[in-house]
Amino acid sequence: MTLLQSLTTELRRGTLTLAVLSQLRKPQYGYSLVQSLEASGISIDQSTLYPLLRRLEKQELVTSSWDTSESRPRKYYVLSEYGTEIFLQLKKEWKKTSDELSILLQGEEEDESD
Amino acid sequence: MNLIELYIQEVTRRLPEKSRKDIGLELQSTIEDMLPEDCTDEDVKVVLKKLGNPAVLASGYRDRPQYLIGPEIYDIYISLLKMVLPIAITISIIALVAETVMGYSGNESVMQAILAVIGVGIWDAISIGMQVFFWITLVFAVLERTDTAIAQYSMTTRQKEWKPEDLKDIPYVPKKKAITKWEVSGSVVWTAIWGSLYYYASNLVGVYRSGDNGLELTTPIFNEQVLHSFWPLVVIAILLELLLAISKFRSGKWTMRLAVFNLITQLIAFVILIIIFTNNEIFATSFMDLLSMGSAGQKQLIGAVIAIFGLSAAIDAFSGFRKARI
């Protein structure tokens, strides 16, 4: 792996939790989650996603339940009350960070064009 | 068995028993979700490739640490190793030398004997080193996995938020006042040396003569039985010295309390020395004959030994107080 690749992975890793939490306000099963993430352009390594879901459940941010009514049983995940609270706060943090960063990067762009 | 079942088995066999079924079922339904209606073996392979190496997937599910000793206790682990290893190796080498001298039959030249000691000594040092390394590592690996409160004991990270005011609580240690790790290790090694010499006195401490087969211990200085009858006193002295070394290590600098403790240790060691050396039968008669001194001469010699020891103890105790006062 090149340095650029590993730095990019590192950069994305932190945002992954936020991305997943954002899609779990309504119940989703594993593959539907992958699809809704991919629809917004976020490609996620599946071998990272499923363990991440279990970890979120252990941290009581999401709850899970098996739906056996359809032809194939599926495990659905949804934000818990606590998870919603945390998600909203994280979202605020992210907005703040991204605003600050874009100001920084804009300044840098202006320097470049000089 | 089809590929999907094999894949799921490859993942779940690496997981703890209780979560196997649930994760297996979830994987099964996920894989089926990803497949088109009428799937071929090729489709299955594409999907499984997307999920990646089963070992990697399984390691993502595990929350057990994937390392032996974590960063919280790594520092303590390393410093303990650095302290214990040289001490253990020193003791093993002294024991080896003693045993060799004891078992020296005279059938080989001294040079051969010395070479043998060096050879066996290197081997002994390596194997003792491995033993120490293994057991300390084992203890720390177990601690890492069992002690949930480890972060609180951690000496490297502070749990409370750090403030610049905290600096005031850290005493400034002037160089002259500081006790270095070398000093502490040195004193522990010294204790190990004289302790081993005491234990093997009859084989090591004595007058050496070059005989037919080179250097031989002809006349031991001490009367072994009498010397060893003092063992409780010697154990007290060893324990005191070790305790002192530990206190020095923890304090890192000379304080009044440490100086007092040092004085007490030196005093007790001195008294023990006097008790042992003033015993009438402590010296082997053959050694006394060799010296061919009258009883007055003997007393003078013992007096000189005691005086030298007392003087060095006094200097040591005094320098402790002097450094504590800086």
Domain chopping of chain B, boundaries: 3-61, 226-325
Residue environment code for B90-122, b if the CB has 16+ CB neighbours within 10 A, otherwise e: bbbbbebbbebbeebeeeeeeeebeeebeeebe
pLDDT for B115: 82
What is the predicted pLDDT for the residue at B82?
Answer: 85
Contacts of A73 in chain B (CB under 8 A): 25, 29
The predicted structure's pLDDT at residue B155: 45
**Which among A29, A51, A73 has the least Cβ separation from residue B60?**
A51
Residue A97 is predicted with a pLDDT of: 92
Is pTM beyond 0.90? Reply is no
More confident position, B64 or B246: B246
Confidence of residue A80 (pLDDT cuts 50, 70, 90): very high
Name the interface residues of A facing B (CB cutoff 8 Å).
Answer: 29-32, 45-48, 50-52, 54-55, 58, 66, 72-75
**pLDDT tens, residue by residue, B117-151:** 888 888 888 998 999 999 999 988 888 877 655 54
Percent of chain B with pLDDT over 90: 13
Helix/strand/coil percentages in chain A, nearest 5: 65, 10, 20
pLDDT of residue A96: 95
Q: What is the pLDDT of residue B267?
A: 93
Cβ atoms of B214 and B110 within 8 Å: the answer is: yes
Residue B210's H or E segment, with its range, is strand B206-211
Smallest CA–CA distance, residue B60 to chain A, in Å, is 5
What per-residue confidence (pLDDT) applies to B149? 56
Q: How far is residue A34's CA from residue B261's CA, in Å, rounded to a whole number? A: 68
Q: What is the ipTM of this complex?
A: 0.79
Say how far apart CA B109 and CA B111 lie, in whole Å. Answer: 5
Q: Which of the given ranges, A22-36, A80-94, B191-205, has the highest pLDDT on average?
A: A80-94
Q: Is the pLDDT of residue B152 over 60?
A: no
Rounded Cα distance, B320 and B309, in Å: 17
Q: Could you report the per-residue pLDDT of B21-47, keeping only the tens digit for each?
A: 889 988 988 888 888 877 788 888 888
In this predicted structure, what is the pLDDT of residue B214? Answer: 60
Residues paired with B216 in a beta bridge: B209
3-state secondary structure of B138: helix
**Chain B nearest C-alpha distance from A84 (Å):** 24
Under 8 Å between Cβ of B155 and B76? yes
Report the domain count for chain A: 1
pLDDT the model gives residue B148? 59
pLDDT of residue A100 exceeding 90, the answer is: yes
Residue pair B195/B94 in contact (Cβ under 8 Å)? The answer is: no
pLDDT category, B106, cuts 50, 70, 90?
low
Give the residue, B74 or B109, on which the prediction is more confident.
B74
State which residue of chain B sits closest to A28, comparing Cα positions: B30
Domain range for A23 is 3-113
Lowest-pLDDT range of A77-81, A94-98, B253-257: B253-257
We report the CATH number of the domain holding residue A56 as 1.10.10.10
Say if CB B47 and CB B34 are below 8 A apart: yes
Nearest to B53 by CA among B14, B19, B16: B14
Residue B110 near residue B213, CB atoms below 8 Å = yes
* CA A4 to each of CA A1, A8, A112, B155: distance values in angstroms, whole numbers, following the listed order: 8, 6, 21, 35
For the stretch B224-243, pLDDT in tens is 888 888 889 999 999 999 89
CA B71 from chain centre, in angstroms, equals 20
Q: Which two tokens mark A111?
A: 């320097």
Q: What is the DSSP letter of B35?
A: S
Nearest CA in chain A to B54: A47
Which of A29-33, A95-99, B291-295 reaches the highest mean pLDDT? Answer: A95-99
Q: Is the pLDDT of residue B75 over 50?
A: yes
Helix (H) or strand (E) holding B32: helix B17-34
d(CA A94, CA A100): 10
